[in-house]
Amino acid sequence: MLSSERQVLIAEYVSSRGAVGVEEIAGRFGVSQMTARRDLKALEEAGMVVRVHGGAMLRSGITRDVPYSSKAGSLPAEKARIAETALRLISEGDAIILDAGSTTFALAERLHAFRDLTVVTNDLKIAAELADCRGIRVICTGGEVQPGVYNMMGPVAEGMVAPLHVDASFIGCDAIDPSSGVMTRNINKVPLKRAMILAASKPVVLADHSKFGLRVFAQICTFAELYGVITDDGADTTLLQALQDSGARVIRGEGTPQGTSTMKDDIKTGVKTR
């Protein structure tokens, strides 16, 4: 595992617990205590944690995000599988929303072949990726830009998305838990993410397996509010079963569906195809 990948997972682990020790981090991630200290130092320099004697704690659990530079290098193969599966829910002529994030960016990278598509996004990198695609109309939400994360948020963005109706929205998150639903560590992101969910006929969460089984600060939505959750084949089957028991539709990015027949049939039979 790359150090940038591991640091993202450590940041999420600290976020879910508030404070952890070096020994605990070393044991959980299979590294030496020296390596764990180096990872915590890097996270402190990125503004994610504060190092304390023997470990680290959150600097600000309600407003801090993992920097894009760290997320971009984390689990690229898994994000690619998730994006390929999500692509099968998009048709020519659709209007979609892409939430900010590295997994939704992976989906954006796969949209270039479309010749009639409208994409609404709050992600500057996604907007730049698609700006020169002749068949894609790109609409930015506007709003306040977060340095190092490159997303737009706040009342301007929320006001732009609220009146829309799109075929699908693809939402990012920081954690998914059977009892707490879909969550983010940054409470300020919740109103815009909820607006994206409400605007779509098919709101879908994209989340790699590292997000599962964690609980962070703020709930975005319940599973009942979603069309489904797409993850990769590294997700723990026991946890996926618990999610399904709590009402979630889950499909793995390898293409093997889990959950209710409606989502399974859509993916398998190509109801939504390119």
* pLDDT tens, residue by residue, 230-246: 999 888 888 888 888 88
Q: Which two tokens stand for residue 237?
A: 């089957």
In tens, the pLDDT along 157-172 reads 999 999 999 999 999 9
Contacts 24+ apart (CB under 8 A), 261-266: 263/227, 263/228, 266/89
Please give the average per-residue pLDDT across 217-235, as a whole number.
91
Q: What is the dihedral sign for C-alpha 81, 221, 192, 267?
A: positive
Q: How far is CA 57 from CA 11, 42, 77, 204, in A?
A: 10, 14, 30, 32
Percent of the chain with pLDDT over 90: 52
Structure tokens at 23: 């020994």
Domain 3-59 belongs to what topology? Arc Repressor Mutant, subunit A (1.10.10)
pTM of this structure: 0.74
* Gap between the Cα atoms of 119 and 112, Å rounded: 12
pLDDT of the residue at 244: 86
| DSSP designation for 106 | H
Cα separation, 257 vs 230, whole angstroms: 9
Q: Are strands 166-171 and 200-206 parallel, antiparallel or unpaired?
A: parallel
Spatial strand order of the sheet with 55-58 comes to 19-21, 55-58, 49-52
In the numeric block, which tokens belong to residue 271? 């109801």
User: Which segments of the chain are extended strands (E)?
Assistant: 19-21, 49-52, 55-58, 95-98, 117-121, 136-140, 144-145, 152-153, 166-171, 175-177, 181-184, 200-206, 218-221, 228-231, 250-252, 257-258
Query: Would you list the domain boundaries of the chain?
Result: 3-59, 75-269
**CATH architecture of the domain with residue range 75-269:** 3-Layer(aba) Sandwich (3.40)
